[in-house]
Amino acid sequence: MSEVQLAVNDSAAMHRLGAGLAQLCEAGDVVVLTGELGAGKTTLTRGFGEELGVRGTVASPTFVIARTHPALGDGPALIHVDAYRLNSALELDDLDLDLDAAITVIEWGAEMVSALTSNWLEVAIERPTGTPADADELEQPRRVTIRAVGERWQHTDLAGIVAAI
């Protein structure tokens, strides 16, 4: 398992981080995003989707649980899951998503990812505390920790992602 930490200064940088992560991924890969509401999970996923060249605007799947964004070209689709309301990986499996043919980004999925796969990228996003109530939360710096779990990611250069943003 390898890990890298970085500061992400604004939403544009979070978007670029998502694009950089997408460049590392291929069909069957799973990326798990953790962080409180407003941390930037969907912004990161939007960059991810734009880099992959998928159809549709990537938006939070909170109310639909999962959205599949088909590829516009030859690449894999993007499945964007909000697992907040799911109680187990079995409920995710019940959605009958083709995880092998797509890249799957799961928000709030840290508790269930190990039941889905033995290889994943985990992206933990921490917002600053003590920010004034009127501050633009999307433009506050974030601390991001990226962990590569499993054999699939053993030789991946996560430090290259940091340099890209």
Tens digits of residue pLDDT in 46-64: 999 999 999 988 888 767 7
Mean predicted lDDT score pLDDT of the chain: 88
Any residues with CB less than 8 A from the CB of 158 and at least 6 apart, and which? 2, 3, 4, 146, 148
Residue 143 pLDDT class (50, 70, 90 cuts): very high
DSSP-derived secondary structure letter, 127:
P
Give dist(CA 134, CA 149) in Å, integer: 38
Q: What value does the mean pLDDT take over residues 95-118?
A: 90
Residue 1 pLDDT class (50, 70, 90 cuts): low
Q: What is the pTM of this model?
A: 0.89
pLDDT at position 131 is 53
> Where do the domains of the chain lie, and which CATH numbers do they carry?
2-164 (3.40.50.300)
CB atoms within 10 A of CB 47: 25
Q: Taking the alpha carbons of 123, 129, 133, 135 in that order, is the dihedral positive or negative? A: negative
Q: Taking the alpha carbons of 50, 125, 145, 88 in that order, is the dihedral positive or negative? A: negative
Is pLDDT at 152 greater than 90 in this prediction?
yes
Q: What value does the mean pLDDT take over residues 116-131?
A: 86
Q: What percent of the chain has pLDDT over 90?
A: 57
Tens digits of residue pLDDT in 8-60: 999 999 999 999 999 999 999 999 999 998 899 999 999 999 999 999 888 88
